[in-house]
A and B are shown apart, each in its own frame.
Chain A
Amino acid sequence: MSEVVPIDVPSASTAVASTPVLEARALFKRYGDVEAVAGLDLRVGPSEIYCLLGPNGAGKTTTIHLFLGFLEPTGGSVHVSGLDVAAEPLESKRRLAYIPEQVMLYRNLSGLENLEYFAALGGRGSLAAERLTDILVGAGLPRAAVQRRVSEYSKGMRQKVGIAIAIAKEADALLLDEPTSGLDPQASNEFSELLGRLRDRGVAVLMATHDLFRAKETGTRVGIMRHGRLATEMSTDEIGHADLERVYLEHMHG
């Protein structure tokens, strides 16, 4: 059982509260003959957890990479807090936090040093070591592991450092690509609670996942992607677990 340290989850900027924090407008990404994203329109507002479901190759990760500016759209545009990612790549990334499926860290640095580094690059260099330690422990990392080198960490521990990095950045939006991969059920639950707290503070979350159960439990809205398009989207309040699974399978085989 990991130590529970309440994390003071920051509020997102209220200046963009009236506009979507994450927005894709008629978004296309083509690789040769393959249309990875084909006319995607997507809006994620403040205090919203949008879960992007779909099979492998549906375009979920490509969509996240387009928001991060790692890829250039072949059509349409992506916006973060009203900023066009193509026009303002660095400033838009400063408004984002990102947790990949496998968080990779610097093996020769400790968990705390990794967090200090990423926090500093994300514009949070002023955070004291005590505060960063609290964030790490709050993300589920054992306090005794904070000063140990990451080369001694398990995959789950690295994932928790990744979560701490995202929290420390105090971003307007959080992009998650299969973030609970490698976490044990308890850590996954703690992660879901953490997302809930972030949502309460106004953070917009876009999470690509295969986990229908967690999407229903954690998300406020769910979108199902297929062949680079949004096949359908729905509010999680309007649908039960069984219905979500049925709709998902229908769209996969339809």
Chain B
Amino acid sequence: MIKHIARKEFTDVVRDGRFRWCAALVGALLLVSLGHGWVQARQAQGELAAAQATAREHWESQGEKNPHSAAHYGIYAFKPRLALSFVDAGVDPYTGTSVWLEAHRQNDFLMRPAQDATAAQRIGALTAAHVLQHLVPLLIILLTFGALAGEREQGTLRQLLATGVGRSDLALGKALGIAGALALLLVPAAVVGAAALVVGSPGPAASPLARAAVLAGVYLVYFAAFVGLSLAVSAQAGSARTALVALLAVWVVNGLVAPRAAVDLSRWIHPTPSAVEFARTLEREMATGVEGIERPDQAATAARLMAQHGVERVEDLPLNDVGVYLQESEEFGNRIFDRNYGALWDTFERQGLVHEALAVAAPLLAVRTLSMGLAGTDVEQHRHFATAAEAYRRDLMRQMNGDLTENSRSGDFSYTAGPDLWAQVPPLRYDAPTLGWVLNNRLLSLLVLGLWLAAAVLAAAAGARRAEVA
């Protein structure tokens, strides 16, 4: 019986000219956004690889110089674009993808396209994730609002129920029929997306196909929840028009109001300092230190080293006390950075948790978080890379200061190192987080999305059971 209902619903929907136009439009936007995203991602990945090679070449060919000068010369680190970033650009356009690693400083990320974009470009940016998160649910609403309310209005519901068909079977059959019609749109897009990954992955990722499969599953659950929710509203609304208005209100709240409100609310609950404020605090603490993190003193370092080595003059030390002092300064700076950036990241994380929890009011919030997570473009994976880049910077500084300490003596400002030392610095090797890491970080969103699906299914079943016949 469910099979017959699903088949009829599918035929009815597919023959509806309004569906064909809407599906063609959404399908075209989906394919174009996938294609455009893939081309852009490939291009960016190519540019990134070239920039990385150039940065390495500059580092290795910087010539003879003092290792501390080399530490100030620095090197750029580039965040790799993961394979699925062409589906969801996430926060990358806002956080940036490259960072300059140099002595004494933990710099902000650069290359933020959103910073350079015009307002129109920011609003008009269309990614496959936007189409999947906003336009497909709108299409589902247009397909489903009349599923039961329309049948009741037209009088077909009485005739249907008079056949002896169960109301739950009716709701399930309709959901499957609508799902079949949506599959005409989504399956080709999924095939194109998978082919793009297989044929020419735009970037590395830990198990990209597994990530893609989970991403597809997340979107399927989201769409299923929307179908269930739309059926529930259609069953209970007094008319098809009322159902449409109610569902469009849900769409607006889900897609436009909730994301903005979630950002504002999470900032209000867990405020972050402004960029200027944050920079001033860092500057102040770097200059004076804070309780428990004392700024090193060059004379005290020299005195300690002389005592340790039993000498009376720094010139008699078997090492360069300046190198030791520079490393101590680095470590002092690192503790200040860890204190401030750590607190900032932790605040972002708490904001993210509020955001995830608010998904109980709008499933888009859960889907968006999961989508960015699986695409490798969320704040957590930005932090993961930033942490790796910072660890690399610290190793680099340690190596430069170590060379200065071991191979020169106090007051010898003429000491230089050369290409051998630069080549000993290994390139930054960054391993993106695994799928398990991503999912483990996103358990709350997975749970909330699952709850949305369960609630939508129950609401649709209850709505169909209680639906007035006439």
Instruction: Report the bound CA distance from A68 to B115 in whole Å.
Output: 65
Question: Which of chain B's residues have a CB closer than 8 A to the CB of A108?
Answer: 11-12, 15-16
Instruction: Report the bound CA distance from A74 to B194 in whole Å.
Output: 59
- Mark contacts of B244-262 with chain A using CB atoms, 8 A cut-off: 1 yes-contact digit, 0 otherwise: 0000000000000000000
Q: Does A113 contact B (CB under 8 A)?
A: yes
Q: Are B166 and A90 in contact (CB under 8 A)?
A: yes
Q: Which of chain A's residues has its CB closest to B17's CB?
A: A108
11 more A-B contacts (CB under 8 A) besides A108-B11, A108-B15, A109-B15? A68-B161, A93-B161, A93-B163, A98-B162, A100-B155, A102-B155, A104-B154, A105-B156, A121-B1, A121-B164, A169-B163
Q: Does B58 contact A (CB under 8 A)?
A: no
Instruction: Report the bound CA distance from A108 to B156 in whole Å.
Output: 13
Question: In the complex, which residues 1-30 of chain B have their Cβ closer than 8 Å to any Cβ of chain A?
Answer: 1, 4-5, 8, 11-12, 15-16
Closest chain B CB from A109 CB (angstroms): 6
- Mark contacts of B126-165 with chain A using CB atoms, 8 A cut-off: 1 yes-contact digit, 0 otherwise: 0000000000000000000000000000111011111111
Q: Are A123 and B158 in contact (CB under 8 A)?
A: no
Q: Does B470 contact A (CB under 8 A)?
A: yes
Q: Does A31 contact B (CB under 8 A)?
A: no
Q: Are B11 and A93 in contact (CB under 8 A)?
A: no
Q: Does A120 contact B (CB under 8 A)?
A: yes
Instruction: Report the bound CA distance from A106 to B156 in whole Å.
Output: 8
Q: Are A91 and B164 in contact (CB under 8 A)?
A: yes
Instruction: Report the bound CA distance from A120 to B5 in whole Å.
Output: 9
Closest chain B CB from A69 CB (angstroms): 8
Question: In the complex, which residues 50-102 of chain A have their Cβ closer than 8 Å to any Cβ of chain B?
Answer: 65, 68-70, 90-91, 93-94, 96-98, 100, 102
Chain A contact-residue range equals: 20 to 34
Q: How many residues of B contact A (CB 8 A)?
A: 22
Closest chain A CB from B268 CB (angstroms): 49
Question: Which of chain A's residues have a CB closer than 8 A to the CB of B16?
Answer: 108
Residues of A within 8 A of B (CB): 65, 68-70, 90-91, 93-94, 96-98, 100, 102-106, 108-109, 113, 117-118, 120-123, 125, 162, 165, 169, 175
Given A90-B164, A108-B12, the answer on whether A100 and B4 have CB atoms closer than 8 Å is: no
Q: Are B4 and A117 in contact (CB under 8 A)?
A: yes
Given A109-B11, A125-B4, the answer on whether A70 and B469 have CB atoms closer than 8 Å is: yes
Q: Are B5 and A121 in contact (CB under 8 A)?
A: yes
Closest chain B CB from A99 CB (angstroms): 9
Question: Which of chain A's residues have a CB closer than 8 A to the CB of B165?
Answer: 90, 121
Instruction: Report the bound CA distance from A106 to B162 in whole Å.
Output: 16
Q: Are A70 and B158 in contact (CB under 8 A)?
A: yes
Q: Are A121 and B4 in contact (CB under 8 A)?
A: yes
**B155, B158, B162, B165 interface centre (most CB from chain A within 10 Å):** B162
Closest chain B CB from A213 CB (angstroms): 27
Q: Which of chain A's residues has its CB closest to B470's CB?
A: A70
Q: Are B159 and A103 in contact (CB under 8 A)?
A: yes
Closest chain B CB from A27 CB (angstroms): 18
| Leading 9 A-B pairs by shortest Cβ distance | A104-B155, A93-B164, A94-B164, A98-B162, A121-B163, A108-B15, A120-B4, A70-B469, A122-B163
Question: Which of chain A's residues have a CB closer than 8 A to the CB of B15?
Answer: 108-109
Instruction: Report the bound CA distance from A113 to B11 in whole Å.
Output: 10
Instruction: Report the bound CA distance from A117 to B7 in whole Å.
Output: 9
